[in-house]
Amino acid sequence: MQAIIDILKNNNSFIVVAHEKPDGDAIGSVTGLTAFLNDNGKKATALLVDDIPTKFEDIISCPLTRMISANEINSADILIILDSARSSRINLPSNINIDEIKIPIVNIDHHIDNNVNGTVNYINSAAGATAEIIADLAKKMEVSNHWIVSRNCAEMLYLGIVTDTGSFKFTNTTCNTFQAAAYLLSKGVDINKINNAAYFSKALNQLLFEAEMINNHLKCDFDGRYAHAIIPQSLFDKYQFNMKDGETVIEYLREINTAVIAALLYPKDSAVKVSLRSKNSAYPVGPIARKFNGGGHEMAAGITFENKSFEEVDKLLYDAIKEVLEKNEI
C-alpha cells in the first residue's frame, strides 16, 4: 500500500482501467480513483471500453474514455488496473495487447487468483470489493498527505462496495467493509441515489426477461440444491435485453430456498458464458470455475467456454457440481 501511495504522490498522469463487462465494483473503483486523483491535482483518465449497465449511466462522477491508443497509454506515467483477476480480461481496446504497455503498471484487486503481475501489485482477497481497498487508500492519503476525498469520489467507491457485497449481504462483507462504507458516508454520500441506481432502477424489459427465464428455462437438480438456466439468444432478442444490465439476474436462482449453487448459461458471440454463485461456503464455486480456466471468488465466479455447445457445457457443469455437492456434504 505504501508503494502505491508513493506512486500516486510522485507521478502526474494516470490511466485507470478495470475488467471487461464492468460491474458496479469495476465502475465504482475506476471512477472513484479517477476522481480522487483529479481532485488532488493529478491528470487521470477513466478507461472503460465496454458499455456500462444502463442503471449507472446517470450517476457516474467523471467522463469515461471508450477508445484510446497504445501510444496514448504509454504517454501517461502509470497504468492502474483495478478489479481484474485475469490479464486476459483487462478492458483495453481490442487492438491493444497488454504486452504493448511500456509504462509501469499498478495492479490493485481483491480476487485471490489474480494473475495480472503488474510492476506493483496489491491483492487483498479479504476485502469485500476493490472499491474497499481504494477507500482505505484514500483514507490513508487523507490522513498522511492531506489529500481531498470528495463526495463524488466517495459516492463511486460506495457504489463499488455496496454492489460487490450485495448491499452487505454476501459473505465477503467484513468489519473493515463496514468501516470503509462508514468512512465514505461521512463524506456526504447520497445513499438514496446510489441504492436507487443499484437496486431500484430495473427496466420493464428486464423484468419480463427474468420472468420468462424463470417460467420456461429454470431447472433444479440434486433435490433442488443446484438451480440453473440456459438462456437462448431468442430470449435476449425477444426482450431486447443485454447482459451488460444482467449482473443481478442470477440472484433469482440463488434466492431459491433449496438452492446451494446457481448457474446461468448464455451466449456471448460464439462462446458460452457461465455465471456461478454459491450461498454456502462449504460448496464453493471458485474451484469449479478455475477447473475450466475461469476465475472469480469462491462464492461468485465465471467461465467462458469456446467451441462447445450449451448441452456440452451443461453436462460439464452438472458433473463438476455433483462432485462438489457430494464431496462437501454437510
Whether the pLDDT of residue 296 is over 90: the answer is no
- 267 CB contacts (<8 Å, ≥6 apart)? 231, 232, 233, 236, 273
Whether the pLDDT of residue 279 is over 60: the answer is yes
What confidence category does residue 328 fall into, taking pLDDT thresholds of 50, 70 and 90? low
Count of CB atoms situated within 10 Å of the CB of 220: 16
d(CA 85, CA 21): 13
Q: Are the C-beta atoms of 64 and 156 separated by less than 8 Å?
A: no
- The three-point CA angle 250-256-258 to 5° equals 130
pLDDT score recorded for residue 112: 86
pLDDT score recorded for residue 297: 86
- Grid coordinates representing 32 are 472513484
What confidence category does residue 230 fall into, taking pLDDT thresholds of 50, 70 and 90? very high
Strand (E) or helix (H) holding 158: helix 151-164
Whether the pLDDT of residue 31 is over 60: the answer is yes
pLDDT score recorded for residue 256: 96
- At the topology level, CATH places domain 2-199 in inorganic pyrophosphatase (n-terminal core) (3.90.1640)
d(CA 66, CA 128): 27
Q: Are the C-beta atoms of 262 and 222 separated by less than 8 Å?
A: no
pTM: 0.91
Q: Classify domain 204-327 by CATH number.
A: 3.10.310.30
pLDDT score recorded for residue 28: 97
Whether the pLDDT of residue 50 is over 90: the answer is yes
Percent of the chain past pLDDT 70, that is, above it, reads 99
Whether the pLDDT of residue 130 is over 60: the answer is yes
What is the residue extent of each domain of the chain? 2-199, 204-327
**Closest C-alpha among 17, 16, 24 to residue 245:** 24
